[in-house]
Chains A and B, each alone.
Chain A
Amino acid sequence: MATTLTETAHTSATDRKGRRLTYLRAIRDAQSEELSNDPNVVMLGEDVETGMFGTSGGLRDEFGPVRVRDTPISELGFCGAAVGMAMTGLRPIVDLTIATFTYVAFDAIVSQAAKSGYMFGAQAKVPVVYRAAMFYGGGDAAHHSDRPYATFMTVPGLKIIVPSSPYDAMGLLKSAVRDDDPVLCFEDKNLWGVRETLPDEEFFVPLGQAAIKREGSDVTIVAIAGAVRLALQAAEKLNGEGISAEVIDPRSLVPLDWPTIFESVAKTGRLVIADPASRTCSAASEIAATVTEELFGQLKHAPVRVTTPDVQIPFSPPLERTLYPDPTRIAEAARRTIR
């Protein structure tokens, strides 16, 4: 899959005129633009020089091996090093490739990246971006399949983006690189091949601004990462049944755009959250709990979470296939809030 998506190198916004870019290509080009924009932006990670999944192809040739650097298999070490780089004037983008590798680097991300700004009394900023692709649904089994964003939502000091389209991947990632705080970018592997025509001009998507992907009046569906397109399919199905669903993509989980969610739920009175991560202490749980606290009197039904059950991801396809939110389950949850 990876090789077929790898495209030849090119860079600036003008090069993409009229072309439909993949999610992967949008990530690559976002980094390319940021490397061009600021000499303090650097990239490091395993196999970034060859650009294994297509998110850094050609960047080493363009920006040199000092700024685009292959690392040994030392996630803890290079994620910690990125903090030292960030505190002394650089803006590193760390490619962790697969999201489960964040666990190897947990100490560097939590104890150093998240805490150094605050714990040292704001003497330093930590403008680092950690990129990690969430593999799930592809028969990769537990060590390579996870959606760890909720784990990191419990760590104050981190920001978290979950782009669900090529447009958001480019716009959010560019904003993340320019942000002065540590940002985790969780990319959804199931979206790698999704294509979209992007604006000719340079653009940014600010962190903390949700997108209303479809307007509706009966039920609000907040969907995360790869679940956004599934929620849109569910909304289409519901529309045929006379149910008008509003679909919201938070785009960043920290900061989370509460006002947009509250406004929507205040209008519909019903909330479904579609979240590909497992259920306990999920982003879905947090959104459900907060909306319940804030808008209890306006709810017509309890919020419903559509998540993955609390289980490790099994290898065997028939076991794995049914685990994740899908349009059928999301639509059924929406109906439940209305019946």
Chain B
Amino acid sequence: MTQDDELLTEMYRRMYLIRVFEERAIELQRKGEIPGALHTSLNQEATVVGATLALRHDDYMTGNHRSHGHPIGKGAKVDRLMAELMGKRTGVCQGRGGSMHLADFSVGSLGESGIIASGVPVALGAGISAQVRGTDQVCLTFFGDGASNAGAIHESMNMAAIWKVPVVFFCENNQWAVTTPIAKSTSVVDIAQRASAYGFPGVVVDGQDPVEVFTATTEAVERARRGEGPTLVEAKTYRILEHAEGLPIPSKYREEAEIDVWRLRDPLPAFAKRLTGEGILTEEQVTEIAREVVLEVDAAIDFARSSEFPSADSIFDGLYSNPIIPLARLR
């Protein structure tokens, strides 16, 4: 296998890992094993993995409420992510964060923000930090089409431009902000167009094609690393499922036919077909990857299930680094 083939194989593996992780998470949420609402990256796997594989291990990343795919893409181990979804002590955030707020600092994942657009300034700061400390790290921040209209993003893009901060603004445009379509909320057809207002490049890519996403993001990351400043990458993708599992969202805000069009554009079979067609993987290898991924997720679920919940007396742990003794405990 060439280096490129290895990369493409890893790309497929991570996409598949997100797919299986999300499908199993939905089952567990329906069974009541995962509390709260669950926002999955199903059908957005090519976007997520194309972007995260363009980053180095020590590069930073922030994200949003649709939070599971990003750390998986960045290389986080799924066992502690699954344990976090179940609210266990062994979870990557010790059961403090849950589905919308995964973070794995060991792979540069600085946290996913449940507040839309709120994690984008944080990414700007991580980029400034790399500049001040004199490292060549880059920070990529994921946000959605809905977030693109939030003020925090305008402020962040402007500051990133004036200081040439090594940040990649990565918009996962999945067309729908809960029940609001992009055409109703957004002044431009391509969000990437807005980059021109800040004087940096904006590029639109097919979010169902991981290689196209990877190529554009790599260019953006390299530009940032060279000290030339930010890029806005917009990947056009689509949210097939509802905004979240476990929330009472009225259906009937979009046409089934629209969803069907995107069902035909599922990135996983398309990418598998391409890899086998180009002779990079055999059918057997594709099946083997799937088998390994299922085992990995099974093991993660076993790990999560067998882990303990955090103890009640740990409730204040981590609230302050040099603990403030709550008055209740002074008694």
Contacts and interface: CB of A to CB of B under 8 A. Distances in A.
Interface of A: 40, 42, 66-67, 69, 71-72, 74, 76-90, 92, 107-108, 111-112, 116-125, 156-157, 159, 179-181, 208, 254-255, 258-259, 290
Nearest to B319: A118
B238 interface: no
Contact of A123 (B60, B103, B158, B159): B103
> Which of B97, B103, B114, B122 has the most chain A CB atoms inside 10 A of its CB?
B122
B118 A124 contact: no
A116 B111 contact: yes
A134 to B, nearest CB: 23
B121 A77 contact: yes
A254 B114 CA distance: 26
A181 B316 CA distance: 14
Contacts of B95: 121
Nearest to A79: B121
B91 interface: yes
B272 interface: no
Contacts of A258: 327, 330
Interface string B159-202: 10011000000000000000000000000000000000000000
Nearest to B320: A181
A113 B325 CA distance: 20
Nearest to B156: A77
B113 interface: yes
A105 B21 CA distance: 36
A195 to B, nearest CB: 32
Interface in B102-135: 103-105, 110-111, 113-115, 118-133
B318 interface: yes
A112 to B, nearest CB: 6
A110 B279 CA distance: 52
Interface residues of B, number: 53
Contact of A124 (B94, B110, B115, B139): B110
A123 B93 contact: yes
**Closest 4 interchain pairs by CB?**
A84-B125, A80-B121, A77-B155, A122-B318
> Which of B123, B155, B319, B322 has the most chain A CB atoms inside 10 A of its CB?
B155
A81 B118 contact: no
B96 A121 contact: yes
A202 B231 CA distance: 45
> Which of B97, B104, B120 has the most chain A CB atoms inside 10 A of its CB?
B97
B319 A117 contact: yes
A80 B129 contact: no
B96 A118 contact: yes
A109 to B, nearest CB: 11
Nearest to B92: A121
B321 interface: yes
Contacts of B132: 40, 42, 66-67, 85, 90
5 contacts: A83-B121, A83-B122, A84-B129, A111-B113, A117-B321
> Which of B92, B111, B125 has the most chain A CB atoms inside 10 A of its CB?
B125
> Which of A79, A88, A89 has the most chain B CB atoms inside 10 A of its CB?
A88
B100 to A, nearest CB: 10
